[in-house]
Amino acid sequence: MRYMNSRSQAIVRCWKSAGDLFSHNCHEIEIIKLRRLSMPPLAQTFDRKDHIFPCPPGFRKILDDAIRFFSGTPVHALPPPIKFAGSGVYAIYCIATEGLYQKYGNEVNKYSYQVPIYVGKAVPQGWRQSREVHLATVYSTLFSRLRQHARSINEGNGLTLSDFTCRFMILEGETASLTEAVEAALIALYSPLWNSVIDGFGNHNPGRERRTGRISQWDTLHPGRSWAAEMTGERPLRNQIVKRVKDYMAGLRQV
């Protein structure tokens, strides 16, 4: 290369670098091929039972213990009077003695808070991606969610905020992983009206760019939320929703 000019030398160096890179890539490809050959073969048949996780003997007891603890937690006004930190699961109870939901206050929840009208969970942002879970004890996620619900009820037509109360359970540390399981278990146990029959109570403001979506059943039955009033999508028939509520209330019993 001593007799080459600088341009020729640069070209040779480029070709050498390209050759080294090509050789390296070929080596990586061979490694990937070998790894794939060592992997177990793809299944040729399907059997559903191979995909069912067997429930551990103690799992049901853990859920029962959680529900028992939840059912014994203090009941507060909605929203609770003092801001607190934490995330977890909550239930909202109706004790109205007049109107569409009067059976709650006159019978089902007359002497104790038996059947919730809504069950939900409140988790910190990024919880599903396992981000910032350690901040669950810092952020007031649960309190903020209950405050949002109080605002919705206060704005909803035909509802009186003082007719609603709440109880909640804070789940932190290792118990935070039980959040969705406990929520699902409570919904399965009580079939709350605003979970199982009327959708939309727990909806968030979708933002101005998504105001063309369908109006929820809850917002059709209890109009008043400012952002819901701006929705331009399909609106369910209110008389059909009222009938579904009355059918549910007719069969409502203490658990």
pLDDT of residue 254: 77
What pLDDT is stored for residue 179 in this prediction? 94
The pLDDT value given to residue 183: 97
**pLDDT the model gives residue 148:** 96
**Residue 53: predicted pLDDT:** 87
**The pLDDT value given to residue 127:** 53
Q: Residue 131 has what pLDDT?
A: 47
Question: pLDDT 10s digit of each residue in the chain, 255 long?
Answer: 455 556 555 555 555 555 555 565 666 777 777 777 777 888 889 999 999 888 888 888 999 999 999 999 999 999 999 999 999 999 999 999 999 999 999 999 999 999 999 999 999 866 555 545 555 455 899 999 999 999 999 999 999 999 999 999 999 988 999 999 999 999 999 999 999 999 999 998 876 656 667 889 999 999 999 888 888 788 899 999 999 999 999 999 877
Say whether pTM exceeds 0.75: yes
DSSP, residue by residue, the chain: -TTS-HHHHHHHHHHHHHHHHHHHHHHHHHHHHHHHHHSPPPPSS--GGGGPPPPPTTHHHHHHHHHHHHHTSPPEESS-SS-----EEEEEEE---SGGGHHIIIIITSSS--S-SEEEEE--TTTTTT-SGGGGGTS-HHHHHHHHHHHHHHHSTT--GGGEEEEEEE--GGGGGGHHHHHHHHHHHH--HHHHTS--TTPPP--GGGTTSPPPHHHHHS---HHHHT--S----HHHHHHHHHHHHHT----
